[in-house]
Amino acid sequence: MGQEIDLLINYPRTKRNVKERGATKTEEDRAIARQFGKDFFDGDRRHGYGGFNYQPRFWQPVIPTFQKHFGLKAGSKVLDVGCAKGFMLHDMLQLIPGVQVEGVDVSAYAIENTLESVKFRVKVADVRKLPFKDKSFDLVISINTVHNLEKKELMKALQEIERVSKGNSFITVDAYRNEEEKEAMYAWNLTAKTIMHVDEWKAFFKEVGYTGDYYWFIP
């Protein structure tokens, strides 16, 4: 198994009012969000982002961390699973000249509204059945995506990431370390169907044979 490492340490953190969000979110809001359509990305804030727009301040500080940790260079092939509108892929192309990037997302809306710079590099696809050959990528990244599946399906997703990777991968998932964080996580959550204690996640990674690096999203 890989290592627990915060490769998003330079991603800007926003102050979150978890209690307020938990008090206002309903199961109907979660059902709408889990369709991953226009309502989730660019609709009312209750259903997701409330406007999902490109801002270089988010991913540009993170790309050098990925580059250093995984030795990315011209010719390196990178897959983003859950690429949404392609913001991270765009910044990777800007900051690592010659890198080769591809992205997949379950959302047809997100892919249709991908940045023009990466539009021909992305496609609608399901992480449980990635449309790539074995060992196609030097690095597979999936940020806050695979936890949107039920545990049994999540197992397939991680095994697919393993299959298409040459050995390097990095994922982040919703998690908690204590009861206070657990309460906050369930209040904050809109789309995740699998949320576990960090130790449960590690045991799960080992069980399914996931060998990549990983870290947690904890609001």
With respect to residue 41, please indicate whether it lies within any of the assigned structural domains: yes
Whether 11 is in a domain gets the answer no
In a domain, 110, yes or no: yes
Q: Is residue 168 part of a domain?
A: yes
With respect to residue 10, please indicate whether it lies within any of the assigned structural domains.
no
Record the pTM: 0.94
pLDDT digits (tens, 9 = 90+) for 146-173: 999 999 999 999 999 999 999 999 999 9
pLDDT band at 48 (very low <50, low <70, confident <90, very high): confident
What would the mean pLDDT of 51-71 be, rounded to a whole number? 97
User: What is 81-102 written as a DSSP string?
Assistant: ET-TTSHHHHHHHHHSTT-EEE
* Spatial separation of the C-alpha atoms in residues 69 and 67, rounded to whole Å: 6
In a domain? residue 151: yes
Residue 12 located in a structural domain: no
Domain extent for 79: 18-217
Residue 53 domain-assigned (yes or no): yes
Overall domain count for the chain = 1
pLDDT in tens, 20-45: 555 567 889 999 999 999 999 999 88
The per-residue pLDDT for range 126-135, each reduced to its tens digit, is: 999 999 999 9
- β-partners of residue 174 are 217
CATH label of the domain that carries residue 158: 3.40.50.150
Distance CA(130)–CA(150), nearest Å, equals 17
